[in-house]
A and B are shown apart, each in its own frame.
Chain A
């Protein structure tokens, strides 16, 4: 049962990521807004590197992602940004598949109809 095993590993990562007060707080902040790592670090009595590590764990668990904003990287909750972009790109794919298939059909007419 490969699928179940992968599912288990994902759940493990998720629970591990959330089994820490600081990380839970980072997720809470990432859901309501975009923050740079240094902005986040101001809220905790730990080093910037430690906060970066926490963000890394959350990223691996698929809870947050980093988004480039000008020169800085911002931490955002993944559910919103990523899934929305994913869905839109899927729609765009359908749109362009249609276009490229219609181009193909049009080109096929050349040989079939002998218009050229």
Chain B
């Protein structure tokens, strides 16, 4: 199991998740920096993500779409705010319409990635997601996520049971 710690703050609407991997910070950074690798983990198996524009530089907009089991393709984007390769990335995550125009600014979630060296080798990856309101959170989780998540959860259970 990769995840070592989960902290949830219902008042600040923040979740922090910590995972550890036996790789260098540079290798862990590639998971985010290389769109082809990012595609392999961002969306659950039944809701794979395809990254269209991907450039991790402050001010850049990363765009992606997901493909659902019914052919639906919700579009999303990240507005890149801070980049310190291979240690830190801060983006504002939101959804877009067919013309890649952000669907109102409200349901946007700030995501902070930190990659630190672990004593004795390997890295500690910390991802913090925070939301401006319960409504924003509800919207993000409702958009193309739920169905995929339920299925992905089933798959995880199957792997664990094997």
Contact = CB atoms under 8 A, between A and B. Distances in A.
Contacts of B41: 99, 102-103, 106
Q: Choose among B10, B127, B134, B141 the residue with the greatest number of A CB atoms under 10 Å from its CB.
A: B10
B149 interface: yes
Interface of A: 65, 67-68, 81-82, 84-86, 88-104, 106-107, 110
Contact of B15 (A92, A101, A104, A110): A92
B153 A100 contact: no
Contact of B6 (A81, A93, A104): A93
Q: Looking at chain A's contact residues, is the secondary structure mostly helix, strand, loop, or mixed? A: helix
A95 B141 contact: yes
A91 B141 contact: yes
23 contacts: A81-B134, A85-B13, A85-B134, A85-B137, A90-B8, A91-B141, A93-B17, A96-B17, A96-B127, A97-B3, A98-B153, A100-B3, A100-B19, A100-B125, A101-B156, A103-B31, A104-B1, A104-B2, A106-B40, A106-B41, A107-B21, A107-B27, A107-B31
Contacts of A86: 8, 10
Contacts, number: 92
Interface residues of B, number: 35
B101 interface: no
B8 A93 contact: yes
B6 A103 contact: no
B127 A88 contact: no
B112 to A, nearest CB: 13
Interface in B28-42: 28, 31, 37, 40-42
A110 to B, nearest CB: 7
A98 B149 contact: yes
Interface in B79-117: none
